[in-house]
Amino acid sequence: MESQSLFSGFCSNSITPLYRNPQNPLSSSPPSLSYPCFNQSKYQVSFENQYFLSSQRLRSVRRLLCKNSVEKVSNLVSEKEGSKSWVKRKRLAVFVSGGGSNFRSINQACIEGSVNGDVVVLVTNKHACGGSQYARDKGIPVILFPKTKDEPDGLSPDDLVKVLREFEVDFILLAGYLKLIPAELIRAYSRSIFNIHPSLLPSFGGKGYYGMKVHKAVIASGARYSGATIHFVDEHYDTGRILAQKIVPVLANDTAEELAARVLREEHKLYVEVTAALCEDRIVWREDGVPLIQSKENPEEYY
Amino acid sequence: MEPQSLFSGFCSNSITPLYRNPQNPLSSSPPSLSFPCFNQSKHQVSFEMQYFLSSQRLRSVRRLLCKNSVEKVSNLVSEKEGSKSWVKRKRLAVFVSGGGSNFRSINQACIEGFVNGDVVVLVTNKHACGGAQYARDKGIPVILFPKTKDEPDGLSPDDLVKVLREFEVDFILLAGYLKLIPAELIRAYSRSIFNIHPSLLPSFGGKGYYGMKVHKAVIASGARYSGATIHFVDEHYDTGRILAQKIVPVLANDTAEELATRVLREEHKLYVEVTTALCEDRIVWREDGVPLIQSKENPEEYY
């Protein structure tokens, strides 16, 4: 099929190759159980470890990439009723532009098991940023997007969608990604893209409000409270429905740096909390379209 | 001088007269000690009870209105150092368009002595609103502003400024007043006009965001926090520097009415707290122009 030629067109010497050379077999596991190896450190996760099995609705069609034959794998469906249900382990894509502290925090939680998911790919617009260096150290494939003068190896929007589909990404988490998400991606991943913003949206959000500029604006306004907001992503900056917020006080003698540090601590906690809920299928929708999180301890409660 | 002719032009049968007929003496107290009577219930406060005397900087010039002679009274200056200083009792104007629950709350606090001030005049754009009726019951003069088709007895901006000056108003508190404050008033009362808004500004503020519309917008956005904000007033809706805020949570099953009630409770507490600080000269200005409140218990602390 086309997938191999698509990927070999993306590989370049300046970034970690997405796929190993298809002539080298990836593993000695039976083809139906192994996933493609995406980088040179031979990071590989076998199929059975990736999924919790649902006793009721297991389907056995699977898709293999980087092989000559392709079989489709359907998603295992989670069973929500009853306490002994299994939920599919989610595949996450994280988008960063900078240091990636939220990415690290989420990745760590995935590894430790507090999040029922894995970061399977990192997308960045800056190939040398802290987040992408950390990703390479951890064996997580790095994709460049978008294509610009400074980053000529970047993908086009359509190619990005194709690649994410091939990675079978379930959710996209923006964590300090400064480019606008293209409409093609939003259409393809409707209700599956999240962003974190270091203020209590809608205050201090929108184009131009990023990083330290947010905290400076908060202090200059005299606002006595700030915080972090996680929201769904639509075609504009910071305008999608709010999913979760955490508050911090703004003190009379705060500098922007002190406020930023206080907010960042809450961002890390909030993004891990929300990602945990996401990967356990605990996001529900109110009638008016507002997303709510179902409490884990008490499924009758929402927040 | 002119004040009498100015006022007789304003008096009309449809609102409480501002001044009694100058031919009737207002009281039997010596002219130098009494203030004019502003309504038919002969509510009168004698001069010596209105002011706490500053032992260090008492000046004895006074202004009398509604009499044939006018003498100027300078403001008594408060002494901030030391715990036994006296602060001039402040004269407050409150602007309302509706029921006036914040007005009632502030007025009550003044009467009970928590606030070192008195509401000396109510301004409204609706002569029959709840706030205006309450004012008349309490003997507080009511002024109509602005002049419109529905309220032809309303004052012009310049006349409003003149009247407030003649009432020797120190501070203007907007408490559910829905008209824009004219530039003439803002220039005349620079840094002395305050507004309360039922959200965490800058979120859910600006033209069109008033009353229940604010709370509906908060709920529709998915915001998990709301609250009340008190800010200085400039030429636009809800954009002046923030002076104080109080937070409330927004619950997953809130109706707009439930949220409104929760916010209103905090509004009352906040406006009384801020008015208390205002009347004790505890508002200070940070270098960047943000107003802070000096703590009463600990003058080294600001919030």
Q: Which residues of A touch B (CB under 8 A)?
A: 200-204, 219-225, 227, 231, 241-245, 247, 251-253, 286, 288, 290-292, 302-303
Q: According to the model, what pLDDT value does residue A239 have?
A: 84
Q: Residue B96 pairs with which residues in a beta bridge?
A: B124
**DSSP state letter for B46:** B
Considering only the beta carbons, identify the residue of B202, B204, B245 that sits closest to A224: B245
Q: Residue B144 pairs with which residues in a beta bridge?
A: B124
Are the Cβ atoms of A224 and B204 closer than 8 angstroms?
A: no
Q: What is the rounded distance in angstroms from the CA atom of residue A262 to the CA atom of residue A249?
A: 9
Considering only the beta carbons, identify the residue of A204, A223, A245 that sits closest to B225: A245
* Closest residue of chain A to B221, computed from CA coordinates: A241
Q: Which residues of A touch B302 (CB under 8 A)?
A: 252-253
**DSSP state letter for A37:** P
For residue B123, report the phi and psi dihedrals to the nearest 5 degrees.
Answer: -115, 135
Q: According to the model, what pLDDT value does residue B237 have?
A: 80
* Closest residue of chain B to A245, computed from CA coordinates: B224
Which site among B197, B200, B232 would you substitute to test the A interface, given the most A Cβ atoms closer than 10 Å to its Cβ?
B200
pTM assigned to the model: 0.73
Q: What is the ipTM of this complex?
A: 0.72
Q: According to the model, what pLDDT value does residue B84 have?
A: 53
Q: Which listed CATH number (3.40.50.720, 3.40.50.170, 3.40.140.80, 3.40.50.12280) goes with A89-293? A: 3.40.50.170
Q: According to the model, what pLDDT value does residue A238 have?
A: 81
Q: How far does the CA of residue B293 sit from the closest CA of chain A (Å)?
A: 9
Q: According to the model, what pLDDT value does residue B171 have?
A: 98
Residue A139, CA distances (Å) to A119, A142, B10, B34 in order: 10, 9, 81, 85
pLDDT under 70: residue ranges of chain A:
1-85
Tens-place pLDDT, residues B52-107: 333 333 333 333 333 333 333 333 444 444 455 689 999 999 999 999 999 999 99
The arithmetic mean of pLDDT across residues B184-198, rounded, is: 96
Q: Which listed CATH number (3.90.1300.10, 3.40.50.170, 1.10.10.10, 3.40.50.720) goes with B90-293? A: 3.40.50.170
Question: What is chain B's mean pLDDT, rounded?
Answer: 80
Considering only the beta carbons, identify the residue of A227, A231, A252 that sits closest to B302: A252
Q: According to the model, what pLDDT value does residue B229 have?
A: 98
Q: According to the model, what pLDDT value does residue A84 have?
A: 53
Would the pLDDT of B208 be above 70? yes
Spell out the domain ranges in chain A. 89-293
Q: According to the model, what pLDDT value does residue A265 have?
A: 98
Tens-place pLDDT, residues B235-261: 888 889 999 999 999 999 999 999 999
Quick one: which of B124, B157, B119 has its CA closest to B143? B124
